[in-house]
Amino acid sequence: MEHFDFASDNTAPATPEAFEALAQANSEAHVPSYGADRYTAQAEELFSALFERQVKLFFVPTGTGANALAISALRKPFESVFAAPESHLERDETAAPEFFSHGLKLQLAGDSRGDKLSIAAMQHWLKLNRGVHSAQPRVISITQATELGALYSLEQLDAIHAFAAQHQLLIHMDGARFANAVAASGSTPAALTWQRGVDVLCFGGSKNGVGLSEAVVFFDPARAEDFAWRRKQGGQLASKMRWLSAPWLGALKHDHWLQRARHANAMAQLLRQGFIERGLELAVETQINGVFVRLGEQQAAALHLKRWHFYKFLEPDVYRFMCAWNTREDRIAALLDDLST
């Protein structure tokens, strides 16, 4: 038997509360399609409450589509986007942002580790600007939390916001693990987003146990005015929209979404502790639900032989173990046992 527990937070199913909400919505015989239904309307209300502000909300079925469309909505073909070299946008999207955004250049501007943006690096690009011969910077894409499980602090977000304001740049936040970021930071969703100048957030449902649904959240309705057309044209408008919106009703009730994220984060701490106790070295701090640990080749091979699935994330020896809303302590123990022997 294969063990996918720690391969990705994508291997987990939807949570019971999300699935139950979907089941209930699916039991209604006839519902308007394309988002004109009451489940979707209610979801927008819940999101507005959550973010302490009236938002414009668009559900889409994939994270790739969410990020690529959100970015294309903020810019023109000759305008570029600052992103970190280790961002999902740059590393894991098969040039989907470039595909959706006719003529996109991602300007890589990372810190030394590569998962966070560096203001110095962005400033460097601005200096190199050659007018009509250069794609013009227009958007900053922040991943919160990053692909290496790191959080931008409020101070870091403020600094980016100030830089953006100074140079008339817009801010996109890739929140594939936004729930984990909220849980870990102790900040409110509002504090992490529009209060730091974020213009559009892609709030990931998939990794938070909400099934197959990502929420594109616009904090300024004016920016969202044509997004309905972009979503349709980009193949991201689901006819049975209740399948995308209803699971969020379950997730947002009683703060389930946050508790699920907290659990995942806590499991990562447990796993991290186990690694440390077994003398392993962590490659980066464990701030959310992923643990990045250095393994010898033999250690990794031994775990693979015992059918644990996990990926090498950074050369030469950093491996990633992800926890999810349904990660169990006994499975962590099993993994650690298999590591020891």
Nearest distance from C-beta of residue 85 to its own copies, angstroms: 10
- 39: its two tokens: 């489940």
Name residues contacting its own copies, limited to 270-309 (CB under 8 A). Answer: 309
Counting residues that bind its own copies (by CB under 8 A) gives 79
Nearer to its own copies among residue 104 and residue 157 (C-beta): 104
**Residues 194, 196, 200: CA angle, nearest 5 degrees:** 40
Sheet holding 281-282, edge to edge: 281-282, 290-294, 318-322, 311-314
Binding span for its own copies by CB under 8 A among 114-122, 138-146, 191-199, 238-246: 238-246
Subset of 120-139 contacting its own copies (CB under 8 A):
124, 127-128, 130, 132-136
CA distance 261 to 276: 23
For position 102 contacting its own copies by CB under 8 A, the verdict is yes
> CA geometry: angle at 88 spanning 82 and 92, to 5°?
125
Residue number, 36 or 301, with CB nearest to its own copies: 36
Which of 234, 250, 274, 290 lies at the binding interface for its own copies (CB under 8 A)? 234
Cα–Cα distance measured from residue 137 to residue 85, given in angstroms and rounded to the nearest whole number? 16
User: Least Å distance between CB 322 and its own copies?
Assistant: 10
Helices and strands of the chain, counted as H and E runs: 14, 11
- Candidate residues 4, 54, 277, 329; the one interacting with its own copies per rule CB under 8 A: 4
Check residue 244 for interaction with its own copies (CB under 8 A): yes
Residue 341 makes CB contacts below 8 A (sequence gap 6+) with none
Q: Does 243 bind its own copies (CB under 8 A)?
A: yes
Among 114, 211, 250, 290, binds its own copies (CB under 8 A): 211
**Contact pattern for its own copies over residues 28 through 67, marking x by CB under 8 A:** xxxxxxx-------------------------xxxxxx--
Q: Which two tokens stand for residue 293?
A: 């640990």
**What DSSP string describes 126-150?**
HHH--GGGSPEEEEEEEESS-TTSP
Of 41, 45, 76, 221, the one binding its own copies (CB under 8 A) is: 76
Stretch that binds its own copies, among 17-25, 153-161, 255-263, 268-276 (CB under 8 A): 17-25
Q: Which of 53, 105, 167, 294 binds its own copies (CB under 8 A)?
A: 105
Closest CA to 65 of 206, 239, 236, 238: 236
Spatial neighbors of 204 by CB under 8 A, at least 6 apart, are 63, 66, 175, 176, 177, 178, 179, 214
226 touches its own copies by CB under 8 A: yes
